[in-house]
Amino acid sequence: MHMIGRLALWFAATLVVAAHCCAADLRSDWIFTPSTEFPQLTTLSIEGQTGSIRSLWYGDLPLLNLHRDGERLIFQIDNGNPRLEKHDLTLAPTATGWVLTGQLWDTQLNVTARKADRREVEARAFPTYALPRLRDLPDNGLARTPPMGWNSWNKFAEHIDEKTLREVADSLVSTGLRDAGYVYVNIDDGWQGIRDAGGKLQPNSRFPDMKKLADYLHSRGLKLGIYSSPGPKSCAGYPGTYGHVTQDAQTWAAWGIDYLKYDLCSGEAFYHTYETVRATYQQMGAALQATGRPIVYSLCEYGRFNVGAWGRKVGGNLWRTTRDISDDFPSMAKNGFDQAAPAENAGPGGWNDPDMLEIGNGGMTAEEYRTHMSLWSLLAAPLLLGNDIRSISPETLAIVANPEVLAIDQDPLGRQARMALRKAGSEIWIKPLADGSSAVGLFNRSTSPVQLSVAWSELGIGPRPRVRDLWRHVDLESAADGVATAVPPHGVVLLKVRPAVTPSPSSP
Ligand code: GLA
């Protein structure tokens, strides 16, 4: 072999040795000490320049930007949620063994690990399941007007129990709220226990007997709602339906459940494309329909992938269009005004859901809560109270039970309001109603009072309409050409405007 040939051979051999050396170097397997802490990491496997980390919340997730710094392994994790900031995690030797540290989304990790062999990792394999082919499910015939009721989350978070729920239910009856339409009593996250040997999910000790609870609510003219997630874990870390979709739907139907809120939560790692998110919601929609029980189906995936365009097709009756509301004006205003979802997706049987009500929870003024109630009613939003009904104040009751405002939300035409005009720091929203009139909300989003003058012609409304103020419960006699009114800071004037000549209900 001449010189060049020998050199080429040497070079190739060096490359092979080098490749072999580094791949072998970077191949390692690890087992984490079992933990109940989020995200319950179980194993880590490194193979060359790639690797994956396994947890009970997210199954297997690929490692990003994996590199080595001396003995330390550094990488990031992506669970498919584009909103979550990625930080470096470091697996490093310490005096007491190997420890993985770093910030994982909102959580500071500090988990011990030990080297393992591949078989130990394989023994902890995480199951994956096929999703159904996309198809359109039939309308379930429910929620012809936006669902109304109460939900435990905004006030109690996961600290909810059967006794409290029954007391809230009794208060819905004694305050007249049930008769005003608030009939669904929905348990949010925190009721779930563990699965029995047959895989059937049991409630935890705070809810000893779901069937009895449903029977009790039904006997009081109320309905019972429940909460779950398509992933292995709910947002608060309780078991989701992963691998048990049909079984859980059947369990709930047997208990007498009337409403399901299905929250993506840890499912976002498994389902983070349009097709998979839609398919997983369809899977539960079909499972609910197959039970034969009428169950209102609430999708909660925070508005991803334009959910309003396909929510009905997966059997949904309402779909969250926003992130979680909190009990303050900016959060409420962001969900209600700024993120109002496309109005054309809302109508009988399917509603945009800007999240549950905070009225009465104490973080806003009565004026702001009237804005919250008015806006949700104009948006034809589901009205799920989130306060403690057992101690509801007369002022809060007057806001949430105002029959003239509730009639706007529950109007049978089922149209969602549109923002018609911005004027003097204010927004004017209009919702067409079944009787040919319109609900008009004059909102002041600023922190100073405004004096607002709006000609009916600016809103496409003919002259001399009949006008009623729905919070003051009075007819406004002097509103022939328009309305001139003061609107308090963060406040609202909500009107029902009936044209002198009533157009046919189908016209806009
Ligand atoms: C998510 C939902 C909330 C609530 C919690 C429960 O954050 O958006 O409405 O259901 O989960 O953990």
Residue 286 included in any domain: yes
Top mutation candidate among 266, 300, 323, 355 for ligand 1, by most atoms within 8 Å of CB: 300
Q: Which of 258, 263, 355, 409 is catalytic?
A: 263
- 394 and 424 belong to one structural domain: no
Task: Report how far residue 170's alpha carbon sits from residue 29's, in angstroms, rounded to the nearest whole number.
Answer: 56
Which residues, other chains included, contact 207 with Cβ-Cβ below 8 Å and sequence gap of 6+? 161, 162, 187, 191, 213
- 97 and 192 belong to one structural domain: no
Compute the mean pLDDT over every residue in the chain, rounded to the nearest whole number.
93
pLDDT score for 26: 65
Residue 240 included in any domain: yes
Tell me, what CATH number does 445's domain have? 2.60.40.1180
Kindly give the distance from the C-alpha atom of residue 501 to the centroid of ligand 1, in angstroms, as a whole number: 46
Residue 3 included in any domain: no
Give the CA angle between residues 349, 350, 353 to the nearest 5°.
140
Nearest residue to 263 (alpha-carbon basis) of 308, 324, 205, 334: 324
Look at ligand 1, atom 1, and give the residue with the nearest C-alpha.
Answer: 235
CB crowding 264-298: b at 16 or more within 10 Å, else e: bbbbbbbbbeeebbbbbbbbbbbbbbebebebbbb
- 442 and 472 belong to one structural domain: yes
Q: Is 60 a catalytic residue?
A: no
Residue 137 included in any domain: no
Name the domain boundary from 416, 442, 462: 416
Q: Is the CB of 236 under 6 A from ligand 1?
A: yes
Q: Is the CB of 153 under 6 A from ligand 1?
A: yes
Q: How far is CA 467 from each of CA 364, 438, 472, rounded to the nearest angstrom?
A: 28, 10, 12
Task: Report how far residue 411's alpha carbon sits from residue 370's, in angstroms, rounded to the nearest whole number.
Answer: 19
Residue 231 included in any domain: yes
- 163 and 83 belong to one structural domain: no
- 328 and 467 belong to one structural domain: no
Identify residue 65 by its one-letter amino acid code.
N
Would you say the C-alpha torsion 195, 198, 199, 201 has a positive or negative sign? Answer: negative
The pTM is what? 0.93
Q: Is the CB of 188 under 6 A from ligand 1?
A: yes
Longest dimension (CA), the chain: 108
Name the domain boundary from 72, 87, 122: 122
pLDDT score for 14: 40
Residue 113 included in any domain: yes
Tell me, what CATH number does 156's domain have? 3.20.20.70
- CB-side neighbour CA atoms (13 Å) of 252: 34
Q: What is the dihedral of CA 77, 79, 81, 83, to 10 degrees?
A: -20
Is the Cβ–Cβ distance between 476 and 488 less than 8 Å? Answer: no
Number of domains in the chain: 3
pLDDT score for 502: 53
Kindly give the distance from the C-alpha atom of residue 189 to the centroid of ligand 1, in angstroms, as a whole number: 7
- pLDDT less than 50: residues of the chain: 1-24, 507-508
- 200 and 293 belong to one structural domain: yes
* Atom of ligand 1 lying closest to residue 323 CA: 8
- 312 and 272 belong to one structural domain: yes
Q: Is 263 a catalytic residue?
A: yes
Tell me, what CATH number does 94's domain have? 2.40.128
pLDDT score for 478: 76
Look at ligand 1, atom 6, and give the residue with the nearest C-alpha.
Answer: 189
- 411 and 433 belong to one structural domain: no
pLDDT score for 10: 44
- 68 and 214 belong to one structural domain: no
Kindly give the distance from the C-alpha atom of residue 174 to the centroid of ligand 1, in angstroms, as a whole number: 28
Task: Report how far residue 307's alpha carbon sits from residue 321's, in angstroms, rounded to the nearest whole number.
Answer: 7
pLDDT score for 21: 38
- 402 and 423 belong to one structural domain: no
Q: Is the CB of 358 under 6 A from ligand 1?
A: no
pLDDT score for 506: 52
Q: Is the CB of 327 under 6 A from ligand 1?
A: no
Q: Is the CB of 300 under 6 A from ligand 1?
A: yes
- Polymer length of the chain: 508
Kindly give the distance from the C-alpha atom of residue 62 to the centroid of ligand 1, in angstroms, as a whole number: 26
**Residue 493, strand partner residues:** 442
Is the Cβ–Cβ distance between 144 and 294 less than 8 Å? Answer: no
pLDDT score for 437: 97
For residue 143, what are its two tokens? Answer: 């929620």
Q: Which of 324, 328, 469, 481 is catalytic?
A: 324
Residue 127 included in any domain: no
Residue with tokens 């009790």: 216
Look at ligand 1, atom 9, and give the residue with the nearest C-alpha.
Answer: 324
pLDDT score for 40: 97
pLDDT score for 12: 44
Please give the residue range of the domain that contains residue 188: 148-416
Task: Report how far residue 406's alpha carbon sits from residue 401's, in angstroms, rounded to the nearest whole number.
Answer: 7
Name the domain boundary from 416, 449, 470: 416
Residue 505 included in any domain: no
- 390 and 424 belong to one structural domain: no
Task: Report how far residue 386's alpha carbon sits from residue 354's, in angstroms, rounded to the nearest whole number.
Answer: 13
Listed in sequence order, the DSSP H helices in 335-385 are 366-378
- 373 and 437 belong to one structural domain: no
